[in-house]
Chains A and B, each alone.
Chain A
Amino acid sequence: MEKDELKDKIFEFVQAAKGKKKLKEKDIIKGMAEKTGETPDNVKKAMREMIDIGRLMYSYGGGSSSVEIPSEEYLREKGLIK
């Protein structure tokens, strides 16, 4: 799978979990590897690239960390949108 396509699929996966389950990195890596047949390593790399540019972000709440889609507020603060 092309990396961009994989990234889009990861984004959809995280979006689908929004408000239902706090995803940890591992949930995404395992879930997407199963769904797409990609290696966990490739999923991890794609996910990390998305985090590095703010398409996804690490979140914290309820005493533990998770991965989420950033809020507009976050993107604005990071100068990623105007």
Chain B
Amino acid sequence: MKKYETPLLNELEKGPWPSFVKELKKAAKTSEMANDEVGQLEKSFRDKRGYWKHGGIVGVLGYGGGVIGRYSSLPNEFPGVAHFHTVRINQPSGMFYKTDSLRTILDLWDEYGSGLTNMHGSTGDMVLLGCRTEALEPLFAEVTSRGWDLGGSGSALRTPACCVGKARCEWANIDAMDICNDLTQTYQDYVHRPAWPYKFKFKIAGCAVDCVASIARADCSIIGTWKGNIAVDQDVVKDYAKAGMNINAEIVGMCPTGCMSYDGKTLTIDDENCSRCMHCISKMTKALRPTGERGASILIGSKAPIVVGSLLSWVIVPFMKMEPPYTELKELAEKIWEWWDDNAKPRERIGEVIELKGMRSFLEAIGVPPQPQQVLAPRKDPFFFWKDEDLNGKK
């Protein structure tokens, strides 16, 4: 195996934070591919630029996603990374693993690839980093015969992701892991066979703390909420005060709706004015908990800046019950996809199409009525559309 001098990368083996260079070099002990990755990366650090070509056309037979082609632009100098494709393995919801189950993937990956991984990729898949084209089919057969499958890529439904949900969080208003798994299984075809103008992401968060960044990173954000009051255990409130919490400053004073008061003994909540932001509950988790009906708010459209600026998701359905098999959610999703597919140019995300075509056309197409929860404020300028049905008083 070629020995590379890596004076620049060596600098990144120092210091207390876990070193990715050490990881690369661990894999490089036994893998020519990982070794040439180290060599090429040292060159990148020297020249201040990457040496990878645009993704190419690779994949497993029948699928259009799950593998992202990656080729070095210096294949003669670094033959081990001439092919260095990414394989996305769909993670189990919540990213819990039984160790023997995960070992199976590791063993397969040492056999067929570079031994390098990302745990996990930004969308949520386990990412196997560095596979040769001819190894894709055998790896896929091994992986699927052992009960695992590829995730999404390209203009497809991307691998849905969720927070830890009910598995280990008292704040989960919905079964995020189950919804995530159900959507993933129901829409396998959309995950593996890119049929749309561009990518589409689901992320499911159990509450408004949003540990999966659903509101910023999902075309469809599903965020748990509730409709009832917040139950207060006054004895425990006293414990928090005794333990040094300044309840007026830290809780009452930071409530965005001013719906709380505390007289030194009793914490009072004007529930009708509560917007369910989760601040007080997250800071006094032993004393406060939601009660009553649980469900999700459905929001649409968030994405990163490309092309015309980043977007946060917009509320479309303020409250939806979330019981398996999640029929209402799926019917809504299918209507959303149909409208998007009919109206988008290539590489337009749903949020951009809604901006272009107008929120009203979108809401009408998916059958969602106007509700004040959908907006921060009504429009300010007196320019608006009147349709015949509005004039006839039908709407």
Contact = CB atoms under 8 A, between A and B. Distances in A.
A48 B347 contact: no
Contacts of B61: 52-54, 78
Interface residues of A, number: 24
Given A58-B64, A78-B61, A78-B137, A64 B154 contact: yes
Interface stretch (B19-27, B51-59, B230-238): B51-59
Contacts, number: 71
Contact of A77 (B63, B65, B134, B196): B134
A26 B57 contact: no
Interface string A58-73: 1111011101100100
Contact of B197 (A51, A64, A71): A64
B346 A24 contact: yes
Given A52-B62, A58-B63, A65-B64, A24 B154 contact: no
Contacts of B55: 60-61
Contacts of A51: 62, 64, 193
A54 B59 CA distance: 11
B304 to A, nearest CB: 13
A61 B57 contact: yes
Contacts of B341: 26
Contacts of A48: 193
B62 A65 contact: no
Contacts of B196: 24, 26
A67 B134 CA distance: 21
Interface string B317-353: 0000000000000000000000001000011000000
B252 interface: no
B69 A60 contact: yes
A58 B134 contact: no
Contacts of A64: 154-155, 194, 197-198, 346-347
A25 B56 CA distance: 19
B346 A58 contact: no
B133 interface: yes
A58 B194 contact: yes
Contacts of A25: 193-195
B156 interface: yes
A53 B196 CA distance: 22
B343 to A, nearest CB: 12
B71 to A, nearest CB: 13
A77 B194 contact: no
A77 B68 CA distance: 16
Contacts of A61: 54-57
B251 to A, nearest CB: 47
Given A51-B62, A52-B62, A60-B64, A65 B154 contact: yes
A63 B346 CA distance: 9
Interface centre among A48, A54, A67, A78 (most CB of B within 10 A): A78
Nearest to B133: A77
17 contacts: A22-B346, A24-B195, A24-B196, A24-B197, A26-B341, A48-B193, A52-B61, A57-B64, A58-B59, A60-B153, A60-B154, A61-B54, A63-B347, A64-B194, A64-B198, A64-B346, A78-B137
Given A24-B197, A65-B154, 4 more contacts: A48-B193, A52-B61, A57-B57, A61-B55
Interface of B: 54-57, 59, 61-65, 68-69, 133-134, 137, 153-156, 193-198, 341, 346-347
Closest 7 CB pairs of A and B: A58-B64, A65-B194, A65-B154, A65-B155, A25-B195, A52-B62, A64-B155
